[in-house]
Structure 1
Amino acid sequence: MLKLNSVTVNYGKYSAVRQIDIEVSEGEIVVLLGANGAGKTTTFKTISGLLKPTGGTVNFEGAPINGKSPDRIVQAGIVQCAEDRKLFPQMSVQQNLMMGGYIHRSKKTQLKESLKEVYELFPILYDKRDESARLLSGGQQQMLAIGRALMAKPKLMLLDEPSIGLAPLVVEQMFTSIQHINKDGTTILLAEQNANAALSIADKGYVFENGRIVIEGTSEELFSNDEIRKAYIGA
């Protein structure tokens, strides 16, 4: 579904990502592991069209998308849920969700069905649908950010650090929801520092260090790698 070939991304003279190769097959959950500044968010922004690669290609469903505008990439089926959520704080929960479905605004029946699905996945959002997004807890705001992304009916969802700043119980609930979204047919590319939680639901993963991919493998292979366990799992 998604293939990055030798992708390099520069900020001026600084290479934030250097010749990375990533493959995501339809139906998978794939995780990008690494510390802050390792290159995960830059990779997401490049896939989303917010950054242009200096070298290499990004292909989605067999066609190149590097060079396409972000709105065209959303229309193609890739939706990013940003690390800092990027909610509209003064707007209500439901208004935020409807903004996520903007590209389907002419399909009223589909929007209603999508809204129903989000509320079934996150019932607390239905209870708070008329409240301002800024009044939600951190976990509820993350649910809203994911729900808003789902409103665009993505084929591939990019989730950037969904567990950051959340309590352990909320993190567990969040990853259960991500599994549910995947089982309902959405392919997931996940960037995470919480390796233990991410690898527990992922099919495979890539480990970033200083803009490069240094290790890749199935979740089982990464779990059993002593270096990965010491660096990211604490065992």
Structure 2
Amino acid sequence: MSQLTLKASELAVKYGDFTALKGINLEVSQGELVVLLGANGAGKSTLFRAISGLNKPAKGEIHFHDNKVNGFSPDKLVKYGIVQCPEGRKLFPRMSVNDNLQMGGFVQRGKKKEMQKSMKHVYDLFPILKDKENNLAGSLSGGQQQMLAIGRSLMAKPRLLLLDEPSLGLAPMIVKQMFEIIQQINQEGTTVLLAEQNASAALKIADRGYVIENGQMVVKGTSEELFNNEEIRKAYIGA
């Protein structure tokens, strides 16, 4: 059995009087690629924000490599190895591709060789970014911006990479390429938790998955089990 990387137990998150997450239980083992399926507003981003320290849980616990990390600041969690690539990319549009990547590597400040090594890894994964390293991030296409957002996350050398809706708004051909790269990142040793509405593409590369509805986990299983579940196919795959 692989070592447990992430465990969320009975997690609840509130926005004022509104309970956005209720009794969430989730586990991700080291080396896995786990997908979190759900419609827009189901609670995927709220869960990611709780794991990465941006939302404080009202109840429950989050453990990362056996350490309780509730209440840790986002920057401390990045140093621990939890790195989120947010929905909507959140790049610095008036900064160059290279500078955006350098911002992602802030935990390696002062380690010039480590920074260079990470930069080379990102440029090897995304050669188009190397070609455009001096271009402003805001001038890139949607697909290239998503590549840059993932690349910036990798600069922090994550042990757990949280990818929030990486295929959103991208052309089908680019989506296919994006998922191949996510699979490669996972195969190179990074544990990945992927939040996606594109269930069909996500289940093809994931080991396991969870389905979240109205802030609650409703189904979990292997990718094959979820793909062959008639209700899930109707709701998320359209078949």
Give the TM-score normalised by structure 1: 0.99
Match of 2:8 in 1: 4
Match of 2:165 in 1: 161
- For structure 2, list consecutive stretches of 5 or more residues without a partner in the other structure: none
Q: Which runs of 4+ in 1 moved over 6 A?
A: none
Q: Which amino acid in 1 is paired with 2:151?
A: G
Q: Over residues 55-112 of structure 1, what are the superposed CA-to-partner deviations in whole Å (9 max), with x where a residue is unaligned?
A: 0000000011111111110000000000011100000000000110011011100110
Which residue of 50, 59, 70 maps to 2:54?
Answer: 50
CA distance in 2, matches of 1:113, 1:68: 28
Match of 1:186 in 2: 190
Which residue of 134, 137, 140 maps to 1:136?
Answer: 140
Figure out how many residues of one structure are paired with residues of the other and give that number.
Answer: 235
Residue 127 of structure 2 is aligned to residue 127 of structure 1: no
Match of 2:224 in 1: 220
Match of 1:197 in 2: 201
- The 3-state SS of whatever aligns with 1:190 is strand
Residue 115 of structure 2 is aligned to residue 111 of structure 1: yes
Give the TM-score normalised by structure 2: 0.98
Q: Cα RMSD (Å) of the superposition?
A: 0.4
- The 3-state SS of whatever aligns with 1:112 is helix
Q: Give the C-alpha shift of residue 156 in structure 1.
A: 0.4
Q: Which amino acid in 2 is paired with 1:168?
A: P
- The 3-state SS of whatever aligns with 2:62 is strand
- The 3-state SS of whatever aligns with 1:171 is helix
Residue 94 of structure 2 is aligned to residue 70 of structure 1: no
CA distance in 1, matches of 2:109, 2:73: 20
Q: Which amino acid in 1 is paired with 2:92?
A: F
Q: Which amino acid in 2 is paired with 1:14?
A: F
- For structure 1, list consecutive stretches of 5 or more residues without a partner in the other structure: none
